[in-house]
Structure 1
Amino acid sequence: MEHIKKQLEEIYPLSDQDWQSFYAKLTKQEFSKGSLILKEGQQENYLSFIDRGMIRFYIPGIDNDLTFGFSFEGEFTSGYDSFLTRTGSLYAIEALTNTTLWRITYDDLQTIYNTTSMGNVIGRFFSERLFLLKFKRELSLLRDTAEQRYMKLFEERPNLIQYIPLKYICSYIGITPQALSRIRKRIS
């Protein structure tokens, strides 16, 4: 719980009243490794903070899933498009490890936005950060070679390479396992 408070205070000075309003709305939920946090077609009803664990975002496929994102300990996460539009998700979210989330519902977050001084500032900050991450990845997929995308993972998100199975990394950077094997041989 202190991780959340610390992150929020880095963005905006929290009054005790604002923190208590926010804190009172959080619920803790545990997910075991491999379990679905959000199923394809299900409406996302939570904005979550990862207290412990890692998750991946993917589009389920018949032969292969298409992994397009990861979130790690200490980060806020959500099926955010579904959360905002109140529609079913076009993808799934899976716990890659045993994962503990602190969660706030859509309705409770709207209450926080309307009743605290910090709500809108923090909401805007996280929305903008999510947009920038997605935009940067999209540009990378369009402009960079597979090897460049792989090397950027080392620089920008070393925890991805360290803890995520290679099949998910391949899918994330848009290459086959064989192509990744060749890239790894070339750079080692």
Structure 2
Amino acid sequence: MYESFFTFIQQLFPDFKIDFVILESLLKSRKLCRGEFLFQQGEICEFVGFTLKGCLRTFVLKEAKEYTLFFHVERQTLGDYESFQKRQPTRFSVQAVEDSEVIIFDRKIMQFFETTPQGQTFLRLVAEDLAFLLRDKVLSLFLDTPEERYINLLQNEPELLQRIPQYYLASYLGIEPQSLSRLKRRVYEKTFS
């Protein structure tokens, strides 16, 4: 049931020796229907997660407008680790873009990893993975044009473009939905002319 998570562990930290039978007995997952929230801005996030199936998005709400920060497809971590650790309200929301299932890492699971030999190293590697993802997103927002971000998605995550609604894509790229059609046409013309 959790094979994709076990594969993620082995790819991230091949030398990690962990009893997957014990780990599997501790794991639990949560299923979400499309549109359902994993957690919302202002709540305290009591866990971090790992997407088993489906697609979720992380977004902030500012002046009644949504700004999509990330999409989380299979085999990706998600959550608000600061809210989880410091028990303070999260500043963003996570919502299912399609029917999804997420492994929930609550305090009990985190304690298991922290007390397992090499478990703290594994948790550090996961945190680094998230930090690099955030760094790349911030740099892209400041250095890349929306067109460059769109081309990057086309080249690196083309399947994602088939899975997410266009208005979420526009929000992710930092443009209005009306501008997305023009941007797509411009990229198509450059590519095929």
Q: TM-score, normalised by structure 2?
A: 0.88
Distance 2:145 2:105 in 1: 39
Question: Shift of the alpha carbon at 1:136?
Answer: 0.9
Aligned to 2:66: 65
Question: Shift of the alpha carbon at 1:77?
Answer: 1.8
Question: Shift of the alpha carbon at 1:14?
Answer: 4.3
Question: Shift of the alpha carbon at 1:60?
Answer: 2.8
Q: 1:13 to 1:24 in 2, by over 3 A?
A: farther
Aligned to 2:92: 91
User: Which residues in structure 2 correspond to 1:8-87 (within 5 Å)?
Assistant: 8-10=9-11, 11-15=13-17, 17=19, 19-61=20-62, 63-87=64-88
Question: Shift of the alpha carbon at 1:160?
Answer: 2.5
For the Cα contact (< 8 Å) 1:54–1:72, is it kept in 2?
yes
The alignment-based identity, stated in percent, is 26
Aligned to 1:103: 104
- Structure 2: which 5+ residue stretches go unaligned? 189-193
Aligned to 2:191: none
Q: TM-score, normalised by structure 1?
A: 0.90
Q: Where do 4+ consecutive residues of structure 1 move more than 4 Å?
A: none
Distance 2:127 2:43 in 1: 21
Distance 1:162 1:137 in 2: 21
Q: 1:90 to 1:122 in 2, by over 3 A?
A: same
SS of 1:13's equivalent?
coil
State the superposition RMSD in angstroms: 1.8
SS of 1:60's equivalent?
strand
For the Cα contact (< 8 Å) 2:18–2:116, is it kept in 1?
no
| Number of residue-to-residue matches in the alignment | 186
Aligned to 2:126: 126
For the Cα contact (< 8 Å) 1:79–1:93, is it kept in 2?
no
Distance 2:38 2:118 in 1: 28
- Per-residue CA deviation, residues 82-125 of structure 1 (Å, 9 max, x unaligned), is 22332111111101111111212034303421x21131121111
